[in-house]
Amino acid sequence: MSAYTITYIKNENKKEKPDFDNLAFGKYFTDHMFILDYSEQKEWHNARIVPYKPLQLDPAAIVFHYGQTVFEGLKAYKTKSGDIQLFRPNKNMERLNRSNERMCIPEIDEEFAIEAIKNLVEIDKDWVPDAPGTSLYIRPFIISTEPYLGVSPSSTYQFIIILSPVGAYYEEGINPVRIAVENEFVRAVKGGTGEAKTAGNYASSLKAQEMVSNKGYAQVLWLDGIEKKYIEEVGSMNVFFVINDEVITPELNGSILNGVTRNSVITLLNHWNIPVKERKITMEEIYEYAQNGELKEAFGAGTAAVISPIGELSWNDKKIEINDGKTGKISFDLYETLTGIQYGRDEDIFDWIVKVKF
């Protein structure tokens, strides 16, 4: 399908598999990884699947100093009949190229990248767990490898894909979390890199996260970087509110990450004829809605948790309890339907599923 062929060096020293009942998130990695190199002369070349092992990089590699790097996150799911399938991988690869564009990294061939994912998952298919809620997390990323301390785009890169079996996000069913509104630190600003999945955004979010988790909150709710008025995201998820019979979510404004789950939620709500609006939303407004009894549900949406209901919002000295701290109907229906499609329990009516063939 593409000009590239993928060479394969088999790992003859397979690792012992971890206990698939205690996987947690992102702790274990499979036997192989995919690598593609970039140089100015050859562009993207030398596609290979090789044994998983540490990289050798020059200490002056640009990625270590100036963070010119992008990543993606998606999952492979095992169905009841033993098939392995991906959820909307084309969306992730489109976004990878949008992140590349922002970070001055050369574009990759999206279809080829999906082929590479499928090939790698197929080779490491024994690592796809099958207990309910578990999956194989796929982490494609690009690093700038040129040894150079000047601040400029690298002339060499590596596109790498690694795989990690992950446990069920909810051990005992979907469960609401407590969230603190962040008034001091910001995640991103318009004109910055908030719309790109790039390392710096996550490094700069750690401080706020650390401070609220010390107070017993799961995540922060990020406000806009200029007026600190408008709601942007929750942790590293997009955020939705159910106001009476309507769902609202912040409109994409240049600093919000354009989530695949966000897009899927909006598509499903439209399909169910539940009104959904993408618009600016202030924290003030959410507080008013809560006071008037009009705030029915709130939830985060992202690949890791799929839907993460918010049971409580803490804003300055105010506490907003949402739906008595319980999972609401819309949150639950979205969770069931999205995971139903992902695990092949429900019909794939939107053509979102890509099977990994073997």
The two structure tokens encoding residue 157: 């890169």
Q: How far is the CB of 47 from ligand PLP (least distance, A)?
A: 25
Grouping H, G, I as helix, E, B as strand and the rest as coil, residue 299 is strand
Q: How far is the CB of 71 from ligand PLP (least distance, A)?
A: 9
In this complex, which beta carbon is closest to ligand PLP, that of residue 49 or of residue 334? 334
Please, are residues 27 and 145 in contact by the beta-carbon 8 Å criterion?
no
Q: How far is the CB of 120 from ligand PLP (least distance, A)?
A: 19
In total, the chain counts a number of residues equal to 358
Grouping H, G, I as helix, E, B as strand and the rest as coil, residue 296 is strand
Chosen residue from 140, 176, 250, 259 binding ligand PLP by CB under 6 A:
259
Residue 73: closest CA among 117, 139, 136:
139
In this complex, which beta carbon is closest to ligand PLP, that of residue 140 or of residue 302? 302
Instruction: Work out whether 89 is an interface residue with ligand PLP (CB under 6 A).
Output: no
Chosen residue from 237, 243, 310, 338 binding ligand PLP by CB under 6 A:
237
In this complex, which beta carbon is closest to ligand PLP, that of residue 145 or of residue 261? 261
Q: Rg of the chain over CA atoms, in angstroms? A: 21
Amino acid letter at 178?
A: R
Report the largest interatomic distance among the alpha carbons of the chain, rounded to a whole angstrom. 64
**Per-residue mark of binding to ligand PLP, 121-140 (x: CB under 6 A):** --------------------
Please, are residues 256 and 238 in contact by the beta-carbon 8 Å criterion?
yes
**Per-residue mark of binding to ligand PLP, 217-236 (x: CB under 6 A):** ----------------x--x
Q: How many residues bind ligand PLP (CB under 6 A)?
A: 13
Q: How far is the CB of 197 from ligand PLP (least distance, A)?
A: 5
Grouping H, G, I as helix, E, B as strand and the rest as coil, residue 255 is coil
Please, are residues 145 and 61 in contact by the beta-carbon 8 Å criterion?
yes
Instruction: Work out whether 303 is an interface residue with ligand PLP (CB under 6 A).
Output: yes
- The DSSP string of 118-154 is HHHHHHTGGG---STT-EEEEEEEEEE--B--SSS--
The two structure tokens encoding residue 45: 């070349």
Instruction: Work out whether 197 is an interface residue with ligand PLP (CB under 6 A).
Output: yes
In this complex, which beta carbon is closest to ligand PLP, that of residue 48 or of residue 139? 139
Instruction: Work out whether 238 is an interface residue with ligand PLP (CB under 6 A).
Output: yes
Instruction: Work out whether 311 is an interface residue with ligand PLP (CB under 6 A).
Output: no
The two structure tokens encoding residue 268: 């499903």
In this complex, which beta carbon is closest to ligand PLP, that of residue 140 or of residue 259? 259
Q: How far is the CB of 31 from ligand PLP (least distance, A)?
A: 25
Q: How far is the CB of 259 from ligand PLP (least distance, A)?
A: 3
Q: How far is the CB of 308 from ligand PLP (least distance, A)?
A: 11
Q: What pairing do the DSSP bridges indicate for beta strands 276-279 and 246-250? A: parallel
Instruction: Work out whether 193 is an interface residue with ligand PLP (CB under 6 A).
Output: no
Grouping H, G, I as helix, E, B as strand and the rest as coil, residue 268 is helix
- Contact set for ligand PLP, span 55-74 (CB under 6 A): 73
Angstrom distance (rounded) from CA 131 to CA 77: 10
Residue numbers at the binding site for ligand PLP (CB under 6 A)? 73, 197, 233, 236-238, 257, 259-262, 302-303
